[in-house]
Amino acid sequence: MRAVDIIIKKRDHQELNDTELKAFLQSYLSGEVTDYQMSAFLMAVFLNGLTDHELKTLTETMRDSGHQIRLEGVSRFLIDKHSTGGVGDKTSIALAPLLSTFGIGTAKMSGKGLGHTGGTLDKFDAIPGFKFPSSEEEMVKSIEHTGIGIMGQTDNIVPLDKKLYALRDVTGTVNSYPLIASSIMSKKLAVRSDGIILDVKVGDGAFMKNLEDAQQLANIMRGIGEMFGRKVHIVLSGMEHPLGNAIGNGLEVFEAVQSLHGQGPKDFEELITTITGIALLQKGDVTTLEEGIEKATEKLKSGEAVKALHDFVEDCGGDASYITDPNKFITAKFTYDLKAPQNGYVSSLKAEKVGTSAMMLGAGRETKEDIIDPAVGIMLHKKVGGKVQKGDTLATLHYNKENQKLKDAITLLESAYTFSDTAIETPNIILDIQ
C-alpha cells in the first residue's frame, strides 16, 4: 500500500492493520516516507485519534525501532519512574535513594532539560566530577551496588519516537493524547522494569493545565502499559505553584538531599513517600497504599537513604561530600531578597512565571545551545497559603550576573505572587492516584 493510501485511510476514520501501520512507520524511519507525508498522517491522528489496536502497534514499533535496555544481571525489583515535568521537580534525586533502602532498584533514562531548569542530568552536573553511567553494563553495576540506575538517553533508544517528536513539534501535533502517551510509553517499555510509575503534573506550571485532561492522558498511558503486561500506576500531582521551595539545578539537588536528611519541604516529602508507597505496593511488600506511605515516611525520617545517594555519587566519580554537607551547593556570588509588598496571605504563586524567572537567571535553557549555570535559581520562602507581613522575604534569587535579565527576572517573579486579606488553604500536592 502506498503512503498516500495510509494517510487517506486514517483521514477517513478507517483502522489500519498491523502490517500497514508498521510498514508505514518503518519506511519513515528509513527515509522512504517523506516528512510531508508523515506530517499529513500525524495531523490525521491529531484529528481522528487512534484505536487501541493502532495505539499498541505504534508504541510497539517505536519501542522496537532501536536498542532496548534489558539490564541482565540485576536482581533487584526494578521501578521506572517518569515525570511529565514541572517547576522545581527534583523528585528522582531523592526518590531513587529512598527506593533503594527497600531493596528496589531504579531503572531510568534521563535527559537534559529545555525550559525552566535542567533535566536530571543537568542537576547532577552541580556535583564536581560527577559522570553518569555511560553503558548498560555500568548501569547494572550501579543498580546492584547502590540501587540507583540512572543514565543518559542515547540516540539508539526509540529513534523513531525522536524523529516523530521533532516533526510533531513543528506541525502543531504535539498536543495529541495518543501521540503523547505512545511517545512516553515507548521509552518506558524500552527499558526493563517490574513496575512503572508515572508522575503527571497538573496546573499552571505543567503541560497539562487541568485535572480532567490529565486523567484522560493517564488512562491512555495506563492502558498501553496493560497491553504490554506492565504494572503501571499514575500519580496526578499539583503544579499550580512550584514543587518544594528550590528552583535551579544546584539548589534543587540541595533540597533533595536536605529531604533525605529529614529537613525538606512537606509537599516534596509527601510526593516522594507516596510514590515510594506505590512502588512497595507493586513489589508486594505491602497490601495497601497507606501502609506503603507509612513505611516510606519512617524510612525517610531515619536518614538511611543518604548513604545510597552518597555511594552512587562516589561510584560516579563525584565529590560525595556534597551529599553529607549539602550547603556546598549554595555557591552563587550574589543573592536578592524579594519582599512582600503588603500584609495578608499568598493567594496564588504562578509556577510558570517562577520557572521562567529562574531560566532568566541562567537555570534553564531557552534553546538547546544555552549553557546552564548550576549555581543560580530561586529559593521560595512563602507559597500559597503562607501568611506574610509587609517586608517579609517572599523569595531569594541566587545569581552570578547583574544585568537586564536579572531585573526582568525580579519583575516577573514579583508578578507571580498575588495576595489576599483572608486565609487561603494550601493546595494539595496529590490530586489523584490511578
- The helix (H) or strand (E) run that includes residue 60 is helix 52-63
Q: Which of 63, 76, 82, 108 is catalytic?
A: 82
C-alpha span between 39 and 167 (Å, rounded): 7
183 assigned to active site = yes
Note whether 410 and 353 are within 8 A (CB): no
DSSP run (H or E) holding 69: none
Among 187, 283, 310, 353, the one annotated catalytic? 187
**Residue 58 grid coordinates:** 505504534
Strand 231-238 and strand 195-202: the pairing is parallel
Of 313, 317, 315, the residue nearest 326 (C-alpha) = 313
Residue that is written with C-alpha cell 528550590 in the block: 246
**CA distance linking residue 168 with residue 158, whole number of Å:** 16
In the chain, the amino acid numbered 42 is: L
Which cell is 181 given? 502517551
Cell of 402: 547583574
Partners of 246 in the β-ladder: 379
Annotated active-site residue in 163, 168, 201, 295: 168
What is the distance between the alpha carbons of residues 190 and 179, in angstroms, rounded to a whole number? 17
Residue 135: partners with Cβ closer than 8 Å, 6 or more residues away = 151
φ/ψ (deg, to 5) at 185: -70, -30
- Whether residue 328 lies in the annotated active site: no
Known catalytic residue at 161: yes
Residue 82 known to be catalytic = yes
3-state DSSP call for residue 315? helix
377 phi, psi to nearest 5 deg: 155, -160
The DSSP annotation for 340-374 comes to PSSSEEEEEE-HHHHHHHHHHHTSSBSSTTPPP-T
Distance CA 179, CA 188 (A): 14
Question: Cα–Cα distances in Å, from 203 out to 6, 237, 385?
Answer: 37, 9, 17
Question: Is-catalytic flag, 398?
Answer: no
Determine which one of 122, 125, 161, 199 is catalytic: 161
- Give CA–CA dist 274/303, Å, rounded: 17
| Side chain identity at residue 100, one-letter code | S
H-helix or E-strand spanning residue 117: none
Instruction: List the catalytic residues.
Output: 82, 161, 168, 183, 187
